[in-house]
Amino acid sequence: MFDFLIQGFGVALTPLNLGLAFLGALLGTLFGALPGIGPINGIAILMPLAYTLGLPAESALILLAGIYTGSEYGGRMSSILLNVPGDAGAVMTTLDGHPLAKKGLAGPALGLSAVSSFIGASVAILGLTLFAPLLAIVAVKFGPAEFFALMIFAFASMSAMMGKDPLKTLIGAVLGVLISTVGVDSGTGVLRFTFDMPELYDGIDFVVMIIGLFAVSEILLMLEHAFRHDQDGEMAPIGRVMVKMSEVLYCKWAILRSSVIGFVIGVLPGTGASVASAVAYTTEKRISDHDNSFGTGNMRGLAAPEAANNASAAGSFVPMLTLGIPGSGTTAILLGALMLYNINPGPMMFREQPMVVGGLIASLYIGNVMLLLLNLPLAGVFARVLQVPRWLLVPSVAILAFVGVYQLHSDLMAIYLMLAIGVFGYLLRKFGFSLAPVVLGFVLGGLMEENLRRALSISGGDVGILFQSNLSIGLWIAAALVVLVPMFAGKLKAKFLPAAKPS
């Protein structure tokens, strides 16, 4: 394997491929930072160009993989600075990233997220190098029943986000699941919640949902604040711009735990960074949130999802390269890029295309270092976004939101739907609801329904299939423990520990 990797570095370190890796990292960071574009659209835009320019297969893949990993870095910027996720994997970053920015710690938050992303991606790339064939064998055992159990586990993990108001968290998750059911039922053809509007037959697009829920609601809140306080030119405090080593060390175990979680979930086809970051955040909250500071600007609450979503991105290459199965929506586009060059991903690819696979894996190491060196010095520059006056910031965010949705759909109905969802998100925030459970319910609800249908279709309607394999049983037990253990632990603590005496 190390001989294979050395051969890959020989490919990746050529001047052309080094330049393409840097270009991919830079463009990916920009695509990730702009809400509504993200890695899938960035790769879809540049893939035909790379092929038309006659780039070799390994060079084209290095460029596109750089865009993918760079987008995972870039998605955190708008999440931290504007409370608008750049992509699905950055939703959880908003929970603690933006509160840190409002405290004047935007620079350290950006720096910590860059370091967390670097470590998460490094752990995952090392895992890809050492364990790809072994992990592929495990991943292929995940059928629809196992994926359904995994979604149940993800929903159970959400209980860690409930905090002081579990009812609002539960309502938010249910609302997200309900929104995910809009459209034509793929199994029966029944129209669900479409209100006789053909534009809703395909359901609500994730980009429309995420930009409306976060960007538009944030615009309304900024306008409300400006009108209420008459502070049109108010500037948010910047504070210091560099992260301290002590802050990184404070988060070291959170980063390492989340890196492993993100990599393992990334290996599973069809899960993606949104699931990985949600599981990592809720796991870390359960382990580390002793003072209920998660969601108010906790460094570990920022580091965990950032490490996980970058680890998940690298992990998604495992099923693509070893099985020919895309591990995420973005690797599905990369799979198409390989097929443009008449390369068939799968078990034989490591033998038949060592230059392509070796060059890709080596470029992930190089691109990861480039991204760290690119993002750390610029943390202070990006943090200056918070000093933009509201009269300029509000229309700028609005333009990004409108352009991001319209360039995807070229349809005014998508704009109207985005505005309606934005008003809905604004009302939820005014009533004290967190938007993260709504988004998680929307993402996980669709995956859960799809895999439940497949499992029941395979078994002829027998629900016993959901509990047949050891993997399924293990995930069901883990989901039950995640919910029940904290409940009983709290009761035992209240029963056996003496109450503190008033001073």
In 10 A of CB 302, how many CB atoms? 33
Q: Is-contact 381 29, C-beta < 8 A?
A: no
Rounded to whole angstroms, the Cα distance separating 271 from 402 reads 28
State the DSSP string of 61-121. Answer: HHHHHHHHHHHHHHHHHHHHHHS--SSGGGTTHHHHHHHHHHTT-HHHHHHHHHHHHHHHH
What is the H or E stretch that residue 209 is in? helix 206-210
The token duo for 107 is 């620079």
**Angular region, 263: left φ>0, alpha ψ -120 to 50, beta rest:** alpha
Degrees to nearest 5, angle at CA 86 with 388 and 290: 90
DSSP state, 501?
Answer: P
**Angular region, 210: left φ>0, alpha ψ -120 to 50, beta rest:** alpha
Give how far Cα 332 sits from Cα of 65, 100, 136, 324, Å. Answer: 12, 35, 16, 9
Note the pTM of the prediction, 2 decimals: 0.70
Rounded to whole angstroms, the Cα distance separating 146 from 455 reads 9
Degrees to nearest 5, angle at CA 486 with 260 and 437: 65
Which residues sit opposite 191 in a β-bridge?
Answer: 184
Rounded to whole angstroms, the Cα distance separating 404 from 206 reads 12
User: Which residue shows structure tokens 């629900």?
Assistant: 463
Q: What is the pLDDT of residue 257?
A: 92
Q: What is the pLDDT of residue 388?
A: 64
Rounded to whole angstroms, the Cα distance separating 174 from 180 reads 10
Rounded to whole angstroms, the Cα distance separating 316 from 331 reads 7
The closest of 348, 334, 323, 327 to 263, measured between CA atoms, is: 327
State the DSSP string of 181-201. Answer: T-EE-TTT--EES-TT-GGGT
In 10 A of CB 249, how many CB atoms? 10
Rounded to whole angstroms, the Cα distance separating 87 from 94 reads 11
Rounded to whole angstroms, the Cα distance separating 256 from 141 reads 26
Return per-residue pLDDT of the chain as tens, 503 residues. 677 788 888 888 889 999 999 999 888 888 777 765 667 767 776 777 777 778 888 888 889 889 888 888 887 787 888 777 767 778 788 888 888 888 888 888 888 888 999 999 999 998 888 877 676 566 667 788 888 887 887 777 666 555 556 778 788 888 988 988 888 887 777 888 888 888 788 888 877 887 788 778 878 877 776 666 554 444 445 566 677 888 888 888 999 999 999 998 887 766 667 788 888 888 888 888 778 888 888 899 999 999 998 898 888 888 777 766 666 667 767 777 787 787 777 666 777 777 888 888 889 899 999 988 888 877 667 666 556 666 776 777 777 777 767 766 777 888 888 899 989 989 998 888 877 778 778 877 887 888 888 888 888 888 888 888 888 888 889 888 877 776 666 565 556 555 444 43
> How many Å is the Cα radius of gyration of the chain?
22
Which amino acid, one-letter code, is at 372? L
Rounded to whole angstroms, the Cα distance separating 340 from 109 reads 40
The token duo for 268 is 């599973």
Chain centroid to Cα 331, Å, comes to 14
Give how far Cα 417 sits from Cα of 12, 210, 407, 421, Å. Answer: 44, 11, 15, 6
